Amino acid sequence: MEEKIISKENLISFANDLIKDNHFVVGQDEKAIGWKNIIDAKELRINHGGVPSNISYKEFIFAKTEPIFYYKNKKDDYDLVETKPDDKKIIFFGAKPCDARSIEIMSKVFNWDYKDKFFNERADNSIVIGTVCNYQDEFCFCTSVGLNPSTEKGSDIFLIPLDENNFAFRIVSEKGKEFIQPYQKYLNEGNAARSTEILAKIKNPEKKFESSKVKEWITNNFEHKLFDKIGETCLGCGQCAFACPVCHCFDIVDEECDYSCGRRMKNWDACQFGLFTLHGSGHNPRDNQGKRYRQRIAHKFKYYPDKFDEILCTGCGRCSRGCPVGIDIATVASEINFTANQV
């Protein structure tokens, strides 16, 4: 790891150069609702001290909706036109650790039995400029899923605020090292001891549960009444999945434009929707909200860890902050943990 210093002024100049070089620069919007394409570096905000945005930047890697291919019928044949993502480099500026880890976690499923070219091309073309997190509230629980406010994993470059005008600029990955070569003029020699001292003073969120205990409990309590209790409250709106930086369920739908042409679309979906597991026969193996919420918890803390050795959660708390009926995933996991410890 190599560490430099960059001033706020140089950070803005650096971002403007990236924009001029035709890179797709992504930053958090001014109201902390989501992420947007930055077209002027004056819009850039490094939100290390504020609440995480309502939604993550997932959509820039895993699009909400996109065509897989188009087709046009002929008399005795058809034309098939495949699509591909824009090959611009995507620069994510100011990702907290709970966002920065998301691409690596999702890449496990998108490279499992089939390699998803749409996800992989965007991920390969992305550079994550992460930042230390100086914010926590009752919904934060990154320490319960193996992260903390200064986790660098997932970032290619990592920013640490040193004072009002300067950041430590840590070059974390080989990808980041190669990327920053043309922009060395904006960097000055760093002092790792100074940034390490600052990181040591950051308070970690309270650890609310042991993920291994949650996994073990789910394994042995598939039919537990806790899920029915939560299901009575859950609206099945899918906010939790869409706000989450690592939920990745999608549907594929064929759409006709007229009798002679159409397209195959890939769209976000969510396991909380009543139609998600509805069979063509009319049977639905998850026919109530309790079963659907059980799937959400089990997928994050058992099925994904079993398959990929990764917890499908970064502890950002977005699903809980945005839930219209106040379901808090960390509280649910804590209750499971408490129950497991009583056995």
Question: What would the pLDDT profile of 170-198 be if each residue is shown by its tens digit?
Answer: 999 999 999 999 999 999 988 888 899 99
Q: How far apart are CA 154 and CA 24, in angstroms?
A: 19
Q: What is the pLDDT of residue 190?
A: 82
User: For residue 294, what pLDDT is reported?
Assistant: 97
pLDDT in tens, 185-243: 999 988 888 899 999 999 999 999 999 999 999 999 999 999 999 999 999 999 999 99
Q: Between residues 10 and 86, which one has the greater pLDDT?
A: 10
- State which amino acid sits at residue 280: G
Give the pLDDT confidence score for residue 330 in this predicted structure.
Answer: 97
Query: Above 90 in pLDDT, residue 11?
Result: yes
Q: Write the DSSP symbol of residue 285.
A: S
Rounded to an integer, the average pLDDT of 119-126 is 96
pLDDT, tens digit (0-9, with 9 covering 90-100), for 26-50: 999 988 899 999 999 999 999 899 9
What tokens does 122 get? 């965007």
Task: Report the residue count for the chain.
Answer: 343
| Beta strands at 90-95 and 24-28: parallel, antiparallel or unpaired | parallel
Would you state the pLDDT for residue 257? 82
Q: Residue 181 in 3-state DSSP?
A: helix
The mean pLDDT value for 6-12 works out to 96
- 102-116 tens-digit pLDDT: 999 999 999 999 999
Q: What sign does the dihedral 139-303-112-271 (CA atoms) show?
A: negative
Return mean pLDDT, the chain: 94
Answer yes or no: are the C-beta atoms of 53 and 316 closer than 8 Å: no
Q: How confident is the model at residue 343 (pLDDT cuts 50, 70, 90)?
A: low
Model pLDDT, residue 76: 81
Q: Is the pLDDT of residue 1 over 80?
A: no
Strand-pair partners of 161: 167
Residue tagged 């000055």 (tokens): 188
Mean pLDDT for the stretch of residues 5-11? 96
pLDDT at residue number 193: 85
- pLDDT tens digit sequence for 66-78: 999 999 988 788 8
pLDDT-derived band at 25, boundaries 50, 70, 90: very high
Describe the crossing of helices 329-342 and 211-220 by its angle, rounded to 10 degrees: 70
Does 342 have pLDDT greater than 90?
no
Residue found under tokens 């039919």 = 223
Residue 311 to residues 16, 208, 257, Cα–Cα distance (Å) = 36, 15, 41
Classify residue 129 by burial, with Cβ atoms within 10 Å: 0-12, 13-18, 19+.
Answer: buried
281-290 average pLDDT score: 96
- The Cβ of residue 189 has, within 10 Å, a number of other Cβ atoms equal to 7
- Of the listed ranges 137-151, 248-262, 311-325, the least confidently predicted one is 248-262
Beta-bridge partner residues of 79 = 72
Name which residue leads in pLDDT, 112 or 342.
Answer: 112
State the pLDDT at residue 253.
Answer: 95
